[in-house]
Amino acid sequence: MCRILEATNTLCLPLPPGYHTLLSVLGVRCLPRHTFLQYVDHGVLQLTETFVSRLMTDLDNSDANEELKFSILKRLPEPMEQRICHLWDHPISSACISRDYVRASTNQLYNHQFNTTKSRKPEFLPLTFLTKILLDVEDRALNPFEEQENVDARFVEETALKQTLILLGFQDK
């Protein structure tokens, strides 16, 4: 299959749909984990959203499988990582979801207070530009509670409360 991939790349031919998913499934099932991850790093295997979502739901949370899941999540692009992170029922993914939720809620609260006081923000152009870019990225982000079946709601609530207290300065990290 790698030779087929190499031949189609050199001839600039399109691959059939699902080819990269199938090749990745074969790679994770047949290759040692370090070799599989090296192939991903070198671009021989491409991590498709279908493959990663199936992998997150099919594998259990044993130590070896958690290590593989973390290694794969680390190699995903940011938008795909946010979508896939919601499929994995793990405390770290729940903490990421709650942190994003608190950040968005705090920004909404700040914007609401800013609009009601009608005061002017101090202008520091590089920081203002960076803030606008970050707000645009957050607006394009996925709703963190869109898929609630894999979210530990109590943990997310406790973590969000703790993050809020830290951001408001009522509690130390």
Domain that holds residue 108: 90-172
Q: Does 47 share its domain with 58?
A: yes
How far is CA 117 from each of CA 120, 123, 169, rounded to the nearest angstrom?
A: 9, 17, 22
What's this model's pTM, rounded to 2 decimal places?
0.55
Q: What is the mean pLDDT of the chain?
A: 79
Residue 167's nearest CA partner among 107, 86, 78 is 107
Q: Does 63 share its domain with 73?
A: yes
pLDDT tens digits, one per residue of 57-114: 888 888 888 899 889 988 988 788 878 877 777 887 787 777 777 777 777 766 765 6
Q: Does 42 share its domain with 81?
A: yes
Q: Does 65 share its domain with 80?
A: yes
d(CA 148, CA 14): 37
- How high is the pLDDT of residue 25? 92
d(CA 57, CA 53): 6
d(CA 121, CA 158): 32
- How high is the pLDDT of residue 158? 82
At residue 17, the 3 state secondary structure works out as coil
- How high is the pLDDT of residue 52? 92
At residue 103, the 3 state secondary structure works out as helix
Number of independent structural domains in the chain: 2
